[in-house]
Every structure is written in C-alpha cells, then in structure tokens.
Amino acid sequence: MTHHEVEKYRKPIRVLHWIHSGAFVLLFLTGLILFIPGLGFLAEDSWTRVIHRIGAAIFVIIPIIYLVINPRSVGRGLKLAFTWSKDDIGWLKAAPRYYFLGDESSMPPQGEMNTGQKMWWFIVVVFGVLFVITGVIMAFAKESAPPAVLQWMVFIHDVSFIVSGAMLFVHIYLGVFHPLMTDAWSAITGGKVSAEYAKKHHGKWYAEVSKGKEEA
Amino acid sequence: MAETFGRGAMTNHWNDIANADVMMAIGSNPAENHPAAFGHIMVAKERGAKLISVDPRFTRTSSKADIYCPLRSGTDIAFINGMIKYVIDDIHANPQNYNMTYITEYTNAAHLINPGYKGPGELNGLFSGYNDEKRSYDKSTWQYQLDENGIPKRDKTLQDPNCVFQILRRHVSRYTPEMVSSITGCPVDTFLLAVQTYAASGAVGKSGTIMYAMGTTQHTYGTQNIRAYGILQLLLDNIGITGGGINAMRGESNVQGSTDHCLLSHILPGYLGVPRNTDTSLDAYLKRLTPTTKDPNSANWWGNYSKYIVSLLKAWYGNAATKDNDFGFHYLPKVQSGANYTHIALFEAMDKEIIKGLMVWGQNPAVGGPDANLERRAMDNLDWMVVADIWHTETANFWKRPGANPADIKTEVFLLPAVGSFEKEGSVTNSGRWMQWRYKAADGPGEAMDDLWMLDQIARRLIKLYADEGGPSADSLAKLWWNYGADHPDVHAVAKEINGYDLTTGKLLPSFGGLKDDGTTSSGNWLYCASYTEDGNMAARRDPTPGPFNVGLYPKWSWCWPVNRRIIYNRASVDLNGEPWDKEHPVIWWQYQGAEKWVGDVPDGGWPPINVDPKATRWPFIMKPEGFARIFGFGRADGPLPEHYEPWESPVENAMSGQQINPAVTVWRPEEQGDRAKYPIVCSTYRLSEHWQSGQMTRNMPWVIEAQPEPFCEMSEELAREKGIANGDRVIVESARGKVEVVALVTKRFKPFQMNGRKVHQVGVIWHWGFIGLSKGDSANVLTPHVGDPNTTIPEYKAFLVNVRKA
Amino acid sequence: MADKAILYDATKCTACRGCQVACKQWNENDEYIPPPSDPNGVPASNWGSYENPPDLSPQTWLKIRFTEIEAGGKVRWLFTRQACMHCTDAACVRVCPNGSLYHHELGFVAYNKDTCTGCGYCIDACPFNVPRSTRNIVTGIAKMDKCTFCTTQGLDRIAEGWEPACVKTCPTGALKYGDRDGLVAEGKKRVQTLQAAGWTNANLYGENELGGLHVLYVLDDYPAIYGLPVSPQISAATIAWKDVIQPVGWAVGGLTVIGLGMNWLVARANAKKEAK
C-alpha cells in the first residue's frame, strides 16, 4: 500500500466542523436531559438551559461567521445538500450489503460526500434551520407568542431532535467505529485520507481531484 | 330605633339573619362592608330566603340579591313610605295575610293622637307646630289623647280618624308607586316586585329583616330613614321574632360598645342623658328625663332612671358621692341646654377658635370628617393636639398637608403610639350587642401602649393636679374614685366596675334588677350589669351550644346586653296567650305545664302573657313609657312620621311638597351650598371590602393595596360618554367645597335615574384615601358638606352635588 | 386515600378578596407593587376595575375575576376564582420534564419549586392558562409559580390536616375543603337548589373535565359566561408530543442504537474474516 495522502478537508472546514458539532453535542445532551425524565434533575434551576443557550449561540454564530468569510464555499456546500440523482439510488441499494458485509461489488463510485453523508448533511441543514427557528421563538417569544404556537415549536424541535439525534449516532458510529471507515477520522482531524481510501470510498471525487493534480 | 322601640341597637343579632324568610339590604352593602355577616345571609338564601338590594348602584351585595332596586341617593323615605302604603292598602284588602293582633296590641297603631295634629299632606311638607325662626317644632299637637286615668286612648278597630293607623294611612297615601318612581328613579314594576316580596313577611309565622348601615344614617334625615324601616317592620310583625328585626350594621367592630359606654356628646354610659346647665339638682335632672306612665300594665323600664344614674355616680365618685351631695351630681360637667356638641359642631367651634385643644383616639377626621378642607383648616387653630393611633394619620400630620405651610401653624402635636387590638386585652361589643372578651395575643412594637394605660396615666395626673392646685370644676376630677392598679390598670377591674357591686356586701351584682338609687349599689353602665358577676367574666364564655329551639341564640357564647337577651322585644314574638307566632322558630314560649314561666331566650321581662294574667302582664315594648312600639314617634325633632325631603344639595325640587329640605336641619354654612346648575350630578361616598375607614391600617398593607390600589369615581357608561371619559381615565370630581382627582371606573352598575322624564346622573367616590401612608390619594370628603341630621347631626356624606370632568 | 378537593360556589362569593390576600400572606408572596422602602408612597394605579392585580403572576397564585354583563335589561356582576384547577389529567404534569409538577397522593397537582427547570412547558400546556413564570430573556433562567393547594414546602397546611388558607378565610362559605366525592355530591345538590330557584343553566364545573378537577365550581350559568373554558382538553400538541413523538423517539433512538450495534458486530466479524 502506498502512503500517498490526499487532502479531503481543509482547515477552515475542520474548525467549523468541530466547533459546530461541539455546540451541537452540548445542545443535544442538554436537550436529552429534558427528554429522559430520570435525568431531569440536572435541569434544575435552569442550569442546562443556560448551557443550551450558550451552545445555541455558538451553533448560530459560527456558520454565520463562516458564511461571511467564505460565501462561495458555503454556497457550494449547500448546493451539495440538495443535489440528488440516480446515483444516490444506487448507493441506497448497495448500502446494506456494503455496510454489513463489506461487499463493495455493487457500490457505485461516490463523490466527495457519499449518499449517506449527503443525507446527513441534508438533515443538518434542514433540521438545523428548524432547530434555530423553533429555538429562537421558544427562547425569545416565550411571553409573547400564543401558547399553542409555543407547544408546536416544542413538537417540531423534538422531532428534529429525534431525527438528527438518531442520525448523529449513525454519523459518529460510521466516523469512529465502523471497521471499513478507516480514514474517516483522520479526514476530519488532520484533514487527510490515504489515496487508497479515497479511491475506494470516494472514487468519483478522487478521480476529479487527482486529474486536476495530474494536469497541474 | 330608640324612638320606635326603646333601645338604639340591632334588635336581633348576626347569626339570627340566617333565620329570615326575606331580607332587605337598604342603605347598606353587607357583602362589602360586613363580609363575615354575609355568610349568615347566604345560609338564609340557601334555605330559600330572598334578598332584596336597594342601592343607587349595583354593588357586590346586589350581585347576590334576588331583586335589585336602583334608588337615587337620599330617597329611602319615599321608597319605604311607598312600601308602607302598599302594605296598608293590602291590609285592607287581605287582612288575613297580616298579623292584625300584633299591629293592634303591640304597636301604637290603635293609639289616638291629639286632633290638632296635622301632617305634611295638609301643611305642604311640615308637621303642625313648626317655628320658622327656630327651625324646630312645638310637639304638643303630636301627643296621645289620654283618658280620665291618664292612660293613652286606643281604638282597637283602627277606624278612628285620629288613631295612628289612620293618620299613617293618610300620610303615606301620597306615596303612590308612580310618585315613588318619579322621586327615586326606581322603575314601578321593580318597586312593586320588591314590595310584594317583602310584604309577604307580614304573614303570621313569616319573618323579614332589614339590614341598614351608613347609607341610611348619613343623611339630613337619617333618623327618619330608620323610623320608616321601623314602621314597616311593625306593620309586618317582624320585630321581636327570629329572622326579623332591624339589623343596624354598625360601621366599625366596636361602635356599639362605644355608644353603649357613651362616646357620644349627649349621653352618659348606658344611654343616660348628659346633664344640662338647667338641671339645677339631681331631682331636676331626673324629672326632666324620667318618663312616667299612669298605665299599670306599662313596665316603663326607664322609670328606673334614678337607680342607674345614682349607681353610675357611686361607681365614679365612690364615697365622695352621698345622699347629702346629690350623690356627686354636681361634679358632672353640664352642657349648655340647646347647644350642639357633635362632630360638625365641634369643628365649627374649632374653626371659630373656641376649642383650643383636641384629643384624637383612633380616629382620623382629616380623612373621615365631612368638608375635609374645612376641618383640616379648623385644626390649624388648635394650640395643641394629642393623637393616639397605631399608624401615622392625616390628622396627626394635618399641619404638613399638601397646600399647608407648616411654619404658619402653631399647633403642638403629641403622638401617642398605640397597640393594635390583638396586642391588648379587653372587650368588643358587636352590632348584635354581644360583648366578646378578647385576649392579648402579642406584644405591641416599640413604646406603643394600650389606650387603657394611656387614659389611666392621664387621669391619675389630672386628678393629682386638680387635687393639688384646684381650678374650675376641680372636684369633677379631684373627687373621682380612681384605682385600677398601681402599674398597668387591670382591665378586669374596669369590667367589674362597669358591671357594678352591691356596696353593702362588696359582691358583684348579678343583674341591673338589683340596682338601687339609695347609694348602696354602683354600676359603671347599668346595661352591662350582669356581664361580670360572681360567676365570672360572662363576656369570655365560649360555649358554642346553639341553645333553645335551635334558632342560633348561642346563649352561652359571650354575653350580650341586656341581661343576655339575644333578641330584644321578644315579648312581641308570641300571641296574647304566650304561644309563638312561628312555632318552628320560636324565641320565647310560655310554659303552661308545671312551673309557669317562659322558656327560650331571656324574655323581655318575665311577666306572664297578656291573656294569662291581664293584671300582672306588661306590654311588650318595655323601654317606651307607654309600653307600645311607636309607629307614630313624637319624640323626634323633625317629625313623628317620616316625610320625604331632598338632601341639602339636590338636583331636583321636592316632588312631595314645597318643603325642600328637612325643616329642622341646622345649616351652618349656607354659602357652601352648591348650585345645581353648576353641580348637576348626585354624588355619594362609600367604602370597599378591601379597605378600612380612613385607611390608616389598610393603606399601609401592601397586599391590600394591591387588591385596591387607588381611589376611584364610579360612573355610568352614559355619563362617561357624555363627558368623553374612558374607563381608567383620570377625572376631577368637584363640589362647592373642593375637588379631587381620581380614576374613572366606568360601569354598567350605575345607570342614570329616570325621574318623571328627567335624567339624573349619580356617581360615587371611594373615601378611604388621604395624603399619608404607603398608598396615597385624594380624600373624597373634601367634597362632602358640613351639614347633618337634626337628631344626631351625623353628616350627609351620602347625597350631595358634584360635577365631573376629565383631568 | 380518598382524593381531597376545593368546592368554590360562585353564587356565594362576594369577591371580598380575603382568599387572594390569605394566599399571599400564607405563602409569603410579595405584592404586585414595589416594597415599602419608597418614602414617597406606592405608585400603584387602578386601571379601571376592581380586578387587581389584573393577572395571575409568579407572586399572585389566586385572584378573583370580575365580569359585568347585561342580559335582558338586567345587570349581573359575576365573580370567578382564578387559580390552578388541579386537574386529574393534568397537562402540566405530563409535560414537566423532571417531575417538579406531580400529583399529590390526595389528588391535586403539587409542585416542587426547587427542582423546577424553568422550561415553561407547563405554561403553554395548561388549558386554563394558570402557571406563570419569572424569566430572564437573555439567560433563560426562569422559575414557575402556581397554587400548590397549600402544600408549599415548609408551609404545608394539608400535611397538618388543615384546610388551604383561602378556604379558611372565606367569610361566606363560598370555599369548602374536603373529600372530593363529598364535595361533588354537595355541589350537585347546590346545583339542584339553584335550578329549582330558576337558574336553569346552573351546573357543577369540574366534575368530569380533564378526568375531574380538584377545584369544583358551582355556577348559576354557563361556564363560558364565567370565563371558564368549555370542555377543556389537553392540547393536540401536547398529545402529539408526549403520547406520539416521545415514544417514537425512544423507538427510533433504541432501534438506531441496536441497529448500529448489530452492524458493528457483523461488520467487525466480516472484516476479521477478510483479514484472514
């Protein structure tokens, strides 16, 4: 095996990822405390709400900063979340055999984000927005909005929590624990993956990137 | 009430209201001002009793009433006389629905009056004997016709044109429902519904009670208002029975106690007359005051006058009061015959710099007195003032009031901090005449002391000063027997002295029946004789046994005067054989088996019933010299029968007669009368549940201030529209005497009065506020006039004229 | 133990506000106006009504509502007690994340303020709009307050066998405390008496609403006229959230974790096999 490495994620993206996901974990855990009655005692005296708001502030501000710094990257990234094609169906069909049995035979080559990662990204964007809207209303319109509205905000926030929470488990599992995702961790920490990994897991992307390199 | 029945007190008691079949709250708002009593009203209602609320506005009491009658302030007499007319007409049509025996045998309905008597129907609003200059009546034409034995003549058929019943009938014939409606503004059908409902209590075995308070008394004819209720109740056989009576709801928890112990200018303790300069001797005094009767069946209990005054003098002057010196009668200060020493007169005297010193005990005239600006100015003239109170009051701070320059006021003000009622031991006598002993629950703050200690200190020093230095009338004080304890006076010693002793044995007397006029007994207040006996402090008893007949008498709970008689005039609660009119709710009952005696409540005299022993019996109203309740009350200054007059300030001419105002009223300040063109709106002042009187206590209590934070003027939606006032706006209410700025409370509960095609507006202003305290506000009494009832001089707080505009 | 309740008879209430003040005094709640340190007096104002304070608040757990109506030429002045209704099917208890709101063994909704998270879910869920909260809009620190049926910690009258402070004070007997069954029977009897007296719409409110309220109201007219919600329900949002999504969430979460666990076991075994 070669030890030729390819840069998957540049530093700004990695910083964004870790700060944002750190905030999300804060938000998730403080929210989980309200979800699980046995843990409710940790929320006494509004402690977890204060932490939740700190997390929320970071959660909102960091992407905004990134948008200001690099609007094109944000635009490109958002486009990715909403670009779907027949190729994604191919991934879906191949995914069970691939992820359980390691059978890559029917897995079509994936882009920078495989379909699964795109699905996660979609959830992050859409539910992130939902989280923020419902959260802002609950935080700042608590005394002005009609109670029924506030109750439905909680409902939507809860649905978002369940969906994004479940997907978060999947994301962490795949990124850290799955035997096949060997370079996923280093991709988001050091930013680099091995060429082999890139070829196998993100073939389409690797082809474009290395083509460029060859041309250069 | 003393005029009509013989005693000036609630005839029944609070718990007894639950026995009523119909209740009328007129001139009162018990839901707001007597909330604890309202519980009994609700018990009656739950039994099916009806509540009628008669009031210028729809109050919290009206909200619980079955019938609400709007009534322009000051027109109660027209309303009640209208009811009396209905009852008299109905008596003729359906006598079986009424208790004719009661009317004929227990009231003076059958008594014949001097044929020279003429009433307002014939004399355009006046009664016979009026002296225009003196503004008073010669009452000789109002007296009974006497037979050859000096006993009043009676026509038990009630047909003689000179009998009281016929006189009354002629008198009220002018008060038709249409006339009542045009004066009061109450629609005819509502009025008739109220009358029919209330008149049903006239049937044998049915009871109706009238509850009144300041809305009745605080008028230039307040006494006559009460007389009207009394007449109505007598025609409906409602006096002396359970669930009946005239329940005068005192305005304060111990007012009954205060009047019993003579905190009024015209009486000594026990409602004995205050001596006048024309009483040259004890005998002259007794001759003036002791009523006489030639009727052997009239108990004429006031015939015992001499026993009570002598026992009082012995209590006060001890061994300095002997047969040789008229028992110290001359030690008592004498008032000027004919002079007026009531509240209004006192402040007029202060204004004229006649009175130079003032002691104020738990009262706040700067807020509670009429014509407040005048009364505050009058206090500027004082050399000194002593105020004993638990809080700072507007009166204690009159010299700092808004608009006053303290540098110009020379009064020296002494503040004596007092303790609250739970911080001292003593008794409180409620409206129902129950003397209830209270204990000290806590110590007062700082240097605050109880009134008893303060008075004891003042008295001891004055006694010593006068004894050492002499001076005018020095003996009045120097000869007083005063020894209630070396340090803090013993309140029990005071209570015992009030009860009285047999001076020959040194033992407490068991009842006033034992009082004598030979100097061998003492009693600080004959009415309270039996309250503290050799058996102990009766007022401290707390046995909640309901008592005989289970009608809520509670004979062993505290003690009531007289001699623990719970329902007074109860000899009228039985027929001539001593059988109760209402056998299911009796008060007393003559027992024919075994020992012949009364059972039940303490009878109003233990003599046998009229038919059982015509010689030994006594007529039921023992405090009246003739022994009968007075429908025709010739003792009053302003007339033997109530006649409608307009308030001193009124928006309309008197529709009944040419006599606009009560002809016996003293008008101190004609220049302060408001012109109805400038002040066309009727105004009344009243209270709220949440605040107390002039507000010293409640306007310093945050939780209560929160519930009622600010004084306001209640007005109808129609008036608000006319004046461009929205609910919550600040408004100025102004009378000829001053103006206040308050919040406007626009409500459906006030409606303009439709009187004979004319629309008359009325508003009401809450009067609890003043310029001192946690919650401050303008005092409504700045608006009220310095004029009052001719018998009591209670000020006309309840009906005067104002104008209202947006601030 | 048999449930206890309060019976409020609006036909006996004279709105004296004794209950309002007694509740504050007993529970040591401040008034709605600045404390007495202001030497210039209290700038409290009347907004044009007897109804003060105008709303429930963290310091006002009980108040009386005043309603003036005019029907058929007759004016009526209706008084209603406004405080926690202590529902059997209490929406607030359902949505409280940590059991600060809970059902007392005697049936009413008790409350532990120390553990309150300040989330305010109870405020939005209550069909009677009762709970109120202090809240810092920036930090989100908040605490809820409501009538505790006089079981406030350290001031528990019920534990001593006493009636609530409001009941004790009431001068007209409009408030009673006792076994719920007994009070329901008494309330029904009173309704019958009222109907016989001509109040044909008299009713007992709270007998069955929300599983049965522990504050029952004797009314002489329709509840709506007294400002009480007709057929109050737990909101669709509460049900969707607590009865649907909550279990769904557990299911989704649980299934995900199990699925991932299975995947790990299978995938790892496969990877080992391949390595061999």
pLDDT of residue C40: 45
* Partners of chain B (3+ Cβ pairs below 8 A): C
DSSP conformational letter for B335: B
Closest Cβ opposite residue B743 in set C16, C42, C46: C46
Apex CA C256: angle with CA C250 and CA C259, to 5°?
Answer: 135
Question: How far is A105 from C154, CA to CA, in rounded Å?
Answer: 71
Residue contact B60–C30, C-beta within 8 A: no
What pLDDT is attached to residue A204? 86
Please give, rounded to a whole number of angstroms, the shortest distance from the CA of C120 to a CA of chain B. 26
- Asked if the Cβ–Cβ distance from C31 to B773 is below 8 Å, we say no
B609 Cβ contact partners less than 8 Å away, ≥ 6 residues apart = B574, B575, B576, B577, B578, B590, B617
Determine the average pLDDT of the residues in C137-145. Answer: 93
Closest-CA distance of chain C to residue A21, Å? 19
Is the Cβ pair A158, C246 closer than 8 Å?
Answer: yes
Q: Which of B31, B688, B705 sits opposite C44 (nearest CB)?
A: B705
- pLDDT tens-digit map of B385-444: 999 999 999 999 999 999 999 999 999 999 999 999 999 999 999 999 999 999 999 999
Domain that holds residue A185: 5-215
Could you tell me which residues come within 8 angstroms of residue A39 by beta carbon, excluding any fewer than 6 positions away?
A32, A33, C98
Full 3-state SS string of C237-252? HHHHHHHHHHHHHHHH
Of the candidates B503, B520, B522, the one whose C-alpha atom is nearest the C-alpha of residue B312 is B522
Q: What is the pLDDT along chain A (216 residues), one digit of tens a residue?
A: 457 888 889 898 899 999 999 999 999 999 999 999 889 999 999 999 999 999 999 999 999 998 998 899 889 888 888 888 888 898 999 888 888 888 888 888 888 888 999 999 999 999 999 999 999 999 999 989 999 999 999 999 999 999 999 999 999 999 998 888 888 899 999 999 988 888 888 888 888 887 766 654
Please check whether residues C158 and C272 belong to one and the same domain. no
Chains A and B touch (3+ CB pairs under 8 A): no
Same domain for C221 and C239, yes or no, is: no
Mutation to test the B interface, candidates C13, C16, C55, most B Cβ within 10 Å: C16
Q: What is the per-residue pLDDT for C221? A: 95
**Is residue B181 pLDDT above 70, yes or no?**
yes
Do C and B touch, 3+ Cβ pairs within 8 Å? The answer is yes
Give the integer Cα–Cα distance in Å for B692 and B699.
8
CATH number at residue A150: 1.20.950.20
Q: What domains can be seen in chain B, in order of their start residue?
A: 14-251 (3.40.228.10), 265-336+490-534 (no CATH), 343-430+442-469 (3.40.50.740), 670-806 (2.40.40.20)
Residues in chain B: 807
Asked whether residue C44 carries a pLDDT value surpassing 70, the answer given is no
| B320-337: pLDDT as tens digits | 999 999 999 999 999 999
C259 and C181, same structural domain? no
Q: How many CB atoms lie within 10 A of CB B503?
A: 18
* Residue in A29, A46, A149, A200 to test binding to C, most C beta-carbons within 10 Å: A46
Q: Which residues pair with B740 in a beta bridge?
A: B733
Domain co-membership, C135 together with C241: no
- pLDDT at B500 > cutoff 50: yes
Whether A82 contacts chain C with CB within 8 A? no
- ipTM field: 0.91
What's the pLDDT at A180?
85
Contact with chain C for residue A4, Cβ under 8 A = no
Q: Do C76 and B689 lie within an 8 Å CB cutoff?
A: no
C171 and C243 belong to one structural domain = no
Best residue in B190, B690, B706, B765 for a mutation probing chain C (most C CBs within 10 Å): B706
Is A169's CB within 8 Å of C253's CB? Answer: yes
Of A41, A100, A173, the CB nearest to C266: A100
Q: Does residue C251 sit in the same domain as residue C116?
A: no
Flag if B64 and C45 touch (Cβ within 8 Å): no
Cβ–Cβ gap A45/C117 under 8 Å: yes
**Do C240 and A155 make contact, defined as CB atoms within 8 angstroms?**
yes
Query: What's the rounded Cα separation, in Å, for the pair B789 and B284?
Result: 28
Is B706's CB within 8 Å of C52's CB?
A: yes
Rounded mean pLDDT of C88-114?
95
pLDDT tens for each residue of B341-355: 999 999 999 999 999
Asked if the C-beta of A57 comes within 8 angstroms of chain C's C-beta atoms, the answer is no
Residues C264, C137 share a domain: no
Which residues in chain B have their CB less than 8 angstroms from residue C57's CB? Answer: none
Contacts of C268 in chain A (CB under 8 A): 179
**Nearest by CB to A162, which of C142, C237, C248?**
C248
Are the beta carbons of C31 and B35 separated by less than 8 Å?
no
pLDDT digits (tens, 9 = 90+) for B163-174: 999 999 999 999
More confident residue, B251 or B66: B66
Please indicate whether, in this complex, the C-beta atoms of C173 and B36 are within 8 angstroms of each other. Answer: no
Does the beta-carbon distance from A170 to C256 stay under 8 Å? yes
Percent of chain B scoring above 70 in pLDDT: 100
Q: Do B702 and C193 touch (CB under 8 A)?
A: no
Tell me: do C210 and C240 sit in the same domain. no
Cβ–Cβ contact A178 with C under 8 A: yes
User: From B30, which residue of chain C is nearest by alpha-carbon distance?
Assistant: C14
Q: In chain C, which residue's Cα lies nearest the Cα of A40?
A: C98
CB contact under 8 A, C44 and B690: no
pLDDT surpasses 60 at B654: yes
Give the C-alpha separation, B587 to B580, whole Å. 7
Cross-chain CB nearest to A50 (options C97, C141, C267): C141
Q: What is the pLDDT of residues B709-721, one digit of tens each?
A: 999 999 999 999 9
Q: Do A40 and C118 touch (CB under 8 A)?
A: no
Mean pLDDT of C98-127: 95
Summarize the confidence of residues C116-140 as an average pLDDT.
94
Q: Is the pLDDT of residue C33 over 60?
A: no
Of B707, B728, B773, Cβ closest to residue C17: B707
CB contacts, 8 Å: B15 with chain C: none
Q: What is the DSSP string of A151-162?
A: HHHHHHHHHHHH
Beta-carbon separation of C124 and A43 below 8 A: no
Q: How far is B222 from chain C (nearest CA, A)?
A: 27
Number of separate domains in chain A:
1
Nearest CA in chain C to A153: C237
In this complex, do C139 and A50 lie within 8 Å of one another by their Cβ atoms? yes
At C32 the pLDDT is: 59
Q: C249 and A162: CB-CB below 8 Å?
A: yes
CB contact under 8 A, A169 and C256: yes
Contact of C172 with chain B, judged by CB distance below 8 Å, is answered with yes
Q: Chain B: residue nearest C15 by CA? A: B60
Averaged pLDDT, B6-35? 95
* Containing structural domain, residue C79: 4-226
C-alpha span between B798 and C62 (Å, rounded)? 34
Same domain, C86 and C18: yes
Q: Which of C209, C226, C243 is the last residue of a domain?
A: C226
pLDDT band at C100 (very low <50, low <70, confident <90, very high): very high
C249 neighbourhood in chain A, CB within 8 Å: 35, 158, 161-162, 165
Contacting C residues, span 65-84, partner chain B, CB-CB under 8 Å: 68-70, 74-79
- 3-state SS, residue B30: helix
CB contact under 8 A, B36 and C171: yes
* Whether the model pTM is above 0.95: no
Task: Check whether residue C124 and residue C207 sit in a common domain.
Answer: yes
Q: What is the rounded average pLDDT of the residues B748-768?
A: 94
- Render pLDDT for B237-289 as a digit per residue (tens, 0 to 9): 999 999 999 999 998 889 999 999 988 899 999 999 999 999 999 999 999 99
CA angle A48, A51, A55 (to 5 degrees): 135
* Residue C240: closest C-alpha in chain A: A155
Structure letter (DSSP) for residue B700: G
Average confidence (pLDDT) over B276-303:
96
Q: Which residue has the higher pLDDT, A77 or C228?
A: C228
Q: Looking at residue C111, which CATH number applies to its domain?
A: 3.30.70.20
Pair type for strands B67-70 and B50-55? parallel
Of B46, B58, B729, the CB nearest to C75: B58
For residues C171 and C35, state if they share a domain: yes
- Judge contact between B689 and C16, C-beta under 8 A: yes
Closest-CA residue to B389 (of B361, B424, B367): B361
Sequence-distant (6+) residues with CB within 8 A of C49 are: B727, B745, C66
Residue C81 and residue C192 in one domain:
yes
The reported pLDDT for the residue numbered C39 is 43
For chain B, give the mean pLDDT.
95
Smallest Cβ–Cβ distance between C98 and the set A43, A53, A166 belongs to A43
Domains contained in chain C, number: 2
Q: Say whether C124 and A177 touch across the interface (CB within 8 A).
A: no
